[in-house]
Each structure stands twice: as C-alpha cells, then as structure tokens.
Amino acid sequence: MCLVFVCDQQEVVLRTQPAPGACPYCGGKVEAMDVESQLRLCFLPLCFTNKRKFYCTLCSRRLVVYPSR
C-alpha cells in the first residue's frame, strides 16, 4: 500500500492599486497587490490567507516593507 500526499499552494490576485513611494533599485512606481493564497492537501482546501505584496512596475522586483519604529 502506498500513501501519497500531494500539497499544492494556489495564489489568486484579488486587486492591484498604486502605492506611495518609489523603487529603491530603479526609481519606478510601486504597486500593492492583494493576494489570496490557498493551501491544499489532496484537493481538500486547508486554509485561506490574504496578503498584501508590493512590487515595482518597472523592474518587477518584489519589495519588502519594514514597519517604522
């Protein structure tokens, strides 16, 4: 008997909107992207999470925002 567990993570973009600031690498515009990710185990959804990701529209780099002190 062989048991195989297949895990899959699927991300869906909910919306994008302009964000304030400029890219520190190339100076391009920054956009905020709301993403819903779904973790699946053998086609059964385990959890849903919503995240906001920031990226540059010119160089397409993923940007990390650190909280201010």
- Residue spans per domain, the chain: 7-38+47-63
The C-alpha atoms of residue 58 and residue 16 are separated, in whole angstroms, by: 15
In terms of pLDDT, which residue wins out, 51 or 65?
51
Q: What is the pTM of this model?
A: 0.72
pLDDT tens digits along 3-45: 555 577 788 999 999 999 999 999 999 999 999 988 877 767 7
* CB-based contacts of 67, cutoff 8 Å, min separation 6: none
pLDDT value of position 5? 59
